[in-house]
């Protein structure tokens, strides 16, 4: 079942319009784990010429979405708490690594870290999902 779920999720991420728009790429996937990458382009800058927090949040959210749905059932976000620690610069390659820290029948928690190619910590996130009993609709 794992490979079927993983293959279906990979395909959905590749086809997801928002992921395509931001250049989000799924690098690794396992049960309760994902690694998603993006290169910060100039067009995701904020009014100060720095990377917009929303672009970094989108990277975090993609990693969270993929990791939390990797068990084959629909999981939906309940809460995400993000702390931005260092500003990346345009052109940086950012990687968000999501790790499941606990899981019950109804909820699961995840720790997500974003780092650049120099291993500088850019952001951290603690996230909570509600785990529905429905199988992923695209399986």
pLDDT tens by residue, 24-39: 999 999 999 999 999 9
- Provide the whole-model pTM: 0.96
pLDDT > 70 fraction of the chain, expressed in percent and rounded: 99
Tell me the residue range of the domain where 111 lies. Answer: 2-135
What total of structural domains would you count in the chain? 1
What CATH number is attached to the domain comprising 87? 3.10.129.10
Please, which pLDDT band fits residue 88 given cuts at 50, 70 and 90?
very high
Cα(125)–Cα(42) distance, integer angstroms: 24
Mean pLDDT, the chain, rounded, equals: 96
Residue 42 has a pLDDT of 85
Q: Is the pLDDT of residue 90 over 90?
A: no
């Amino acid at each position: 079942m794992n490979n079927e779920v993983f293959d279906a999720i990979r395909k959905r991420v590749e086809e997801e319009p928002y992921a395509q728009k931001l250049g989000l790429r799924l690098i690794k996937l396992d049960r309760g784990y994902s690694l998603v990458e993006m290169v910060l382009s100039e067009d995701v800058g904020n009014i100060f010429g720095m990377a917009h927090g929303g672009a970094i949040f989108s990277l975090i959210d993609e990693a969270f979405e993929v990791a939390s749905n990797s068990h084959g059932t629909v999981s939906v976000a309940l809460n995400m708490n993000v702390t931005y620690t260092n500003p990346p610069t345009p052109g940086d390659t950012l990687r968000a690594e999501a790790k499941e820290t606990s899981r019950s029948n109804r909820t699961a928690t995840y720790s997500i870290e974003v780092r650049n190619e120099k291993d500088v910590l850019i952001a951290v996130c603690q996230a909570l999902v509600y785990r529905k009993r429905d199988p992923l609709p695209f399986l």
